[in-house]
Each structure stands twice: as C-alpha cells, then as structure tokens.
Amino acid sequence: MNLNQQIAEFFVQKGLIDPESKNKILAESEAKSISFYTSLLKNQVVDETKVFEALSEFYSLEFYNTSVYNLNEEIISKIPMSFIKDNRMIPFAIENNSLVVLIDEPYRVVDVDALSYFFDKPIVVKLVTTSSMNGMLGYIDNRRRRADAMSAISNELSDEKKNVKVTIDASQLIDAPTVKLTDSIIREATLTGASDIHIEPFDGLVRVRFRLDGKLFTNTQLPAESFPAILARFKIMAGMDISERRIPQDGKITMEIDGRKYDYRVSTVPMAFGEKIVIRIFDTFDNHSDISKLGLDERQEKLVRRMISYPHGILLLTGPTGSGKTTSLYSFLKSLNKEDVNITTIEDPIENNISGVNQIQVNSKVNMTFAAALRAILRQDPNIIMIGEIRDEETAEIAVKAAITGHLVLSTLHTNSAHGTISRLVDMGIPKYLVADALIGAISQRLVRKLCPNCKKPHMTTPEEMKELGLTEPVQIYEPGSCGNCNNTGYHGRTGVFEILNMNPTIKKAIEMPEFSMETIYDACVSSGMIPLKEAAKKLVLEGVTSYSEYIALLDNDTEIK
C-alpha cells in the first residue's frame, strides 16, 4: 500500500469519507498524478479545515490555524521571496528559541532544513490549510510591494517637501508609486479581514488604521506630503470629484483580490488637515453568512429558523450600529432564497448583491423612500420583503399591514432590546392589537470578541467576578493571552450575543392589557422563555468563548441591557 492509499484509508477510518467515495477519488488522484487529499479538496467532499486536521494527525504534525496579518516581518525579511513562494514554507515565529515554520504540503517537512541556512535555530514544523498559505503568501508579497512604493515616494520627497496638487491628472497616476501604495493598503486590509480602513491626515503625518474585530489598530504612518496624491488616487478609483475638497463625498470601488470580488464603499469628509478617507470593505463572494455561523446556540437557531419559515408576519432585529443586524438579515435571506418565492429588499445602501433577490436602493432625491418603495413592491407580488430599517411611522404602518396581509417582512428597528420593539411600534402609532397580530418576534443582538483559542488562559473567578456573574462558587473561566495568531490581542474574531422574543399568547395578552408598559412586556417575555442579553453574554463567558472583560464592556457600553 503506497502513501496515497494509506492516507485515503486513514480518512475512511476517521469517518471523513465513505469507502465508495474513497475509491473514486483515489482513482482520480492516481490518474492525474496528484495527492489524494488534493483531489479530495478539488471535489469539495470534505471541509478544508477537517482535511488538514486529519493530515496533521497522519503526519504527526501540529495543525495551526493562523491569520494572515500576524506574520513576523522581521523573520520573513531574512528569506528571499522567491524561496518562500517556490517552497511554500513560511518562517512564522520564534517560540521557545525554536523557529516555527508553516507548510501546507506535508511532504515538504523533509525540506525545511534548508531554512537552517538563514536561521541557526531548531525548527518546529506546523501544518496550515492551503487557503491560509495562499493568503499569507499574498500578504507577504503585498507588504514587500508596499515597502517598494514607500521607498519610491520617500525618494521623490527627499530633496525637498513637494506639494502634490489635487489637480493631478489621473493618467499621470497610473504608473506612480502612489498607485502601488494605495492598492497595497486596500489589499492588505482585505487579506487581514478588516472591516474598515481609516486614512487620517494630521499635522506632519498620515495615519492608516484598520478595524479588526471591532477595534481600530494602527497599520502604518505615511509622510504628510504624500497625502494629496493618495487622496486623489482613491477619489479617482471611487469615481469622486478630485477637485472638490469642501464637502463630503461618497463613492465605490470594485476590485478583485486573489480571485474574489470585493466592493469598497469610500467616504471622504473635510477635516482640519485635509479630507479623511474611510473605506468600508464588502466581500461579494458568498458574504451572506449562514445562520449556523451567526453565533446562535442550538435552541436559538431552531427558534430563528422556525420564525423565518412563517408565511406571513413581521420579524424585527434591533441593536446599535455595528452590531451585526445586516449580516443576520442577509443570512435569513440566504436561507429563504428559493426559486419558488419572490424576495424583494429595500436598502440604504445595498451592501451586497444577492443572486436571485430583487434589491431596491433608496434614493430620497427622487422620492424613492422606504415607504414609497414599499408601496410599489406590494404591487409586485412579493412573498418576502426585507426593509433595511423602519425609520418613520409611514413605513411602520405599511410594513405591519403587509405582514398581516400575507407577506413575510424582515426589518430592523431603532431600539436596544427585543421587547422594546413592541413599545416602539406602539409609539410610532401602530395599534396594539395590530402589533400583537403582526409581530412574529424580535431579535436584539450585540457583538463580542472571541478569545483566541491558541492562547486563552484559564483562571478561577475572583470574588468580584463571581458577584457580577451571579455565582456562588468559583468556576474556571478564561482570559486573553498573547500570541502570533491573534496579533497579541488575545482575541480572534467576533460572535453574536442574542436576545430572542418569540411571540406567543402570553406576550399578546400583555400587549393588549390596559396597563401596558415596558415592564409588563419584559416580564411576559422572560416568563415565556426569552433569555435576556445579559444572561446570553454570561453564558459565553462561562463557556470560554469570550472573556469577563468583554462581558463587562458590553454592559458598560449599553445601560439598557438587563
């Protein structure tokens, strides 16, 4: 039995593939002279992470799940880029006086000794997925391109400080170092998983920051003299007026990075030292997260899937800006998007294009408001309507009427709790009996950072933590550590925290009572099984998903959380 056959048999033993599929894929891999696991990945039979976890076990290598922005550039700079690309091995970090080397092709484990030429240290080999390796190779290449561009710009400015006028011709910018620099900023932010790029001019410098997991981190600083050309380049890319510097502008950039298409929403606003640029990043490739990836627990997921399966009624999402409401709405639409239903959305702006869904962009300049668009689409035979936000009484009234006349309506409402949606609708002039009849449920959500699984540290709860968490005995929870995988922040990614109101007779009765109040509604919701946000967040702390400090930050930032 050769190595390929041994690996194939190992995957069967692990329960990742059945014998029939194994034989088919093994025959294909041998016919094409490729490895069994490569053929397995090409056929998308098993998830990539599971494939590499199994390979790491087979080869007795540690599987390392890392992020592309956590590379040690000081170490990598010692290796020629051609060597890194040709051999697909990356010197990642120094740990316990050993050099950690990442590979995605297990057979290369015998070749890593070549790195001894550059480093006089013992070598520890770890396995990463092919996707991670490709991302890291792209990141390294991008950083070196940026360094070249920065060097070229510095050389241009070295003799004297130059004022690069904003009237610079677009054709003159095409081959300039500025193009490489701006492209590298966008590319790096995208590869690192940033949600936003902030480019801020100050007296004497330009600060570039990326928003990662909800927090801003400084990525680099640029000479102030380079900013006019950088600003002009971004404005040209986004279709803005480069000569207009007095008023805010908005634009859009579309780029393809490593075979994936991304949209970038660009905003400029005049500040004391020039126009600040903020770029929001949208991944148009399967960006619509599956419901199972939102962070709902098993009970909550079943509840949400049941609520969005109703043929009519209104389901509302609440929470502050940046709490993931749009992501949740898109995941609901992804689940509902079938050939036999007509789905129409009204958005401001359209954040992602969804194949098979009719999407309307609100445009107040031509009176295409949420209410006007909603009236129009009710004549378009819709089954499901998604409204980006119910902002006024008129939109609320039409949405509720649509919900009780045979349409499923999904939307967001400006309030901070699930039960608060009820009083908010009543305050907007919707009769209580209509609210009780139309509302399927409400979901209030927040985002918290997840502890890095590679470096989180266990500790027993202190008396203060026990008091805040409502514990009578000390338990083990986790706190952030520090490692290369999380950029030494202790956190990696975010997850949702949810409070779900599921309408039932008890809550309907509370709504229609003469002594209607927020307190009576809340009591009815809790008695009906609603888990408050505070309890949901506490559960994540006790499960080791997030930290006590994130839990406290969530409560401190939102006094309405119960």
Rounded to whole angstroms, the Cα distance separating 165 from 157 reads 14
Amino acid at 249: Q
Residue 110 and residue 32 share a domain:
yes
Within 13 Å and on the Cβ side, how many CA atoms surround 120?
0
Residue 210 and residue 69 share a domain:
no
Residue 276 and residue 192 share a domain:
yes
Whether 458 is in a domain gets the answer no
Q: Domain containing 245: what range?
A: 161-283
Whether 39 is in a domain gets the answer yes
Q: What are phi and psi of 458, to 5 degrees?
A: -80, 145
Query: Is the pLDDT higher at 190 or at 165?
Result: 190
Residue 500 and residue 362 share a domain:
yes
Q: What is the CATH number of the domain that holds 215?
A: 3.30.450.90
Query: Which string of b and e fits 341-380 if b means at least 16 CB within 10 Å?
Result: eebbbbbbebbbebeebebbebeeeeebbbbbbbeebbee
Residue 33 and residue 119 share a domain:
yes
Closest CA to 152 of 235, 82, 223: 223
Sequence-separated (6 or more) residues with CB below 8 Å from residue 402: 314, 374, 378, 385, 409
Give the β-pairing of 408-413 and 313-318.
Answer: parallel
Residues 469-518: tens digit of each pLDDT: 999 999 999 999 887 677 778 898 899 999 999 999 999 999 999 888 99
Query: Which string of b and e fits 16-29 if b means at least 16 CB within 10 Å?
Result: bbeeebbeebbeeb
pLDDT score of 171 more than 50? no
Q: In whole numbers, what is the pLDDT of the chain averaged over residues?
A: 89
pLDDT score of 457 more than 60? yes
Residue 309 and residue 279 share a domain:
no
* Residue 167: pLDDT band with limits 50, 70, 90: very low
Residue 324 and residue 442 share a domain:
yes
Percent of residues, the chain, with pLDDT higher than 90: 59
Whether 90 is in a domain gets the answer yes
Sequence-separated (6 or more) residues with CB below 8 Å from residue 15: none
* Residue 351: pLDDT band with limits 50, 70, 90: confident
Residue 256 and residue 371 share a domain:
no
Compute the average pLDDT of residues 373-380: 96
Residue 381 and residue 528 share a domain:
yes
Whether 318 is in a domain gets the answer yes
Closest CA to 76 of 161, 144, 2: 144
Residue 352 and residue 300 share a domain:
yes
Closest CA to 148 of 49, 100, 101, 81: 81
Q: Which of 283, 303, 329 is the last residue of a domain?
A: 283
pLDDT score of 414 more than 60? yes
* Residue 68: pLDDT band with limits 50, 70, 90: low
pLDDT score of 368 more than 50? yes
* Residue 174: pLDDT band with limits 50, 70, 90: very low
pLDDT score of 556 more than 90? no
Q: What are phi and psi of 219, to 5 degrees?
A: -95, -45
pLDDT score of 134 more than 50? yes
User: Residue 31 is encoded by which pair of tokens?
Assistant: 């016919």
Whether 529 is in a domain gets the answer yes
CA distances in angstroms from 179 to 146, 185, 200, 207, 314, listed in the order given:
10, 10, 18, 18, 48
Rounded to whole angstroms, the Cα distance separating 62 from 84 reads 20
Residues 240-293: tens digit of each pLDDT: 999 899 999 999 999 988 888 899 999 999 999 999 999 999 876 555 578 998
CA distances in angstroms from 357 to 317, 336, 344, listed in the order given:
20, 10, 6
Whether 296 is in a domain gets the answer yes
Query: Is the pLDDT higher at 72 or at 68?
Result: 72
Within 13 Å and on the Cβ side, how many CA atoms surround 333?
30
Burial of 274 (0-12, 13-18, 19+ CB in 10 A): buried
Q: What are phi and psi of 92, to 5 degrees?
A: -95, -45
pLDDT of residue 560: 66
Whether 360 is in a domain gets the answer yes
Domain count for the chain: 3
Residue 382 and residue 503 share a domain:
yes
Whether 478 is in a domain gets the answer no
pLDDT of residue 69: 57
Q: Is residue 407 within 8 Å of 310, Cβ to Cβ?
A: no
Q: Which of 234, 249, 283 is the last residue of a domain?
A: 283
Sequence-separated (6 or more) residues with CB below 8 Å from residue 21: 45
User: Residue 381 is encoded by which pair of tokens?
Assistant: 């035979």
* Residue 30: pLDDT band with limits 50, 70, 90: confident
pLDDT score of 127 more than 90? yes
Residue 113 and residue 93 share a domain:
yes
Q: What is the CATH number of the domain that holds 110?
A: 3.30.300.160
Q: Which of 254, 283, 312 is the last residue of a domain?
A: 283
